[in-house]
Amino acid sequence: MSVSTTHVGEAPRAGMAVLRRSQRECEPFLRNIIGSSAEPLATMARYHFGWWDANGRDAAGTSGKSLRAALAFGAARACGDAREAAPAAAAVELIHNFTLLHDDVMDGDSTRRGRATVWRVWGVNNAILLGDALHALAIRTLTDSLGQGVAVNAITRLEQTCLDLCVGQHQDCSFERCATVTVPDYLRMAAGKTAVLMACACALGAVSARADAATVAAVERFGYELGLAFQIVDDLIGIWGDPARTGKPVGSDLASRKATSPIVVALSSDCEAALELARLYRSDHAMTHREVVHAAELVETAGGRQAAQHFADERMRAAIAALPESMRCSELVALAQLVIDRDK
- The predicted-structure confidence for 273-318, as pLDDT tens digits, reads as follows 999 999 998 888 889 999 999 999 999 999 999 999 999 999 999 9
Residue 153 lies in a domain: yes
Residue 3 lies in a domain: no
Residue type, 25: E
Residue 234 lies in a domain: yes
Q: What is the pLDDT of residues 149-203, one digit of tens each?
A: 899 999 999 999 999 999 999 988 888 756 688 999 999 999 999 999 999 999 9
Contacts of 277 (CB under 8 A, 6+ apart): 263, 266, 267, 295, 298, 299, 302
Q: What is the pLDDT of residues 2-55, one digit of tens each?
A: 444 434 345 568 888 888 999 999 999 999 999 999 999 999 999 999 999 888
In CATH, what number is assigned to the domain containing residue 277? 1.10.600.10
Helix axes 67-78, 11-35, angle to 10 degrees: 110
pLDDT reading at 247 higher than 80: no
pLDDT reported for residue 250:
67
Name the band, by pLDDT with cuts 50, 70 and 90, for residue 248: low
- What percent of the chain is modeled with pLDDT above 70? 92
Residue 4 lies in a domain: no
Q: Cβ of 256: how many Cβ atoms within 10 Å?
A: 15
pLDDT reported for residue 8:
38
β-sheet bridge partners, residue 112: 115
pLDDT reported for residue 203:
98
User: How many domains are there within the chain?
Assistant: 1
pLDDT reported for residue 147:
81
For 270, the domain range is 11-341
pLDDT reported for residue 1:
44
Task: Round to whole Å and give the CA distance between 88 and 81.
Answer: 13
Q: What is the pLDDT of residues 111-160, one digit of tens each?
A: 888 889 999 999 999 999 999 999 999 999 999 988 888 999 999 999 99
Q: Are the CB atoms for 340 and 316 separated by under 8 Å?
A: yes
Q: Give me the DSSP letters along 289-321.
A: HHHHHHHHHHHHHTTHHHHHHHHHHHHHHHHHH
Residue 66 lies in a domain: yes
**How many residues in total does the chain contain?**
344
Task: Round to whole Å and give the CA distance between 165 and 184.
Answer: 17
Task: Round to whole Å and give the CA distance between 47 and 328.
Answer: 38
Q: Is 208 left (phi over 0), alpha (psi -120 to 50) or beta?
A: alpha
Q: What is the pLDDT of residues 194-236, one digit of tens each?
A: 999 999 999 999 999 999 999 999 999 999 999 999 999 999 9
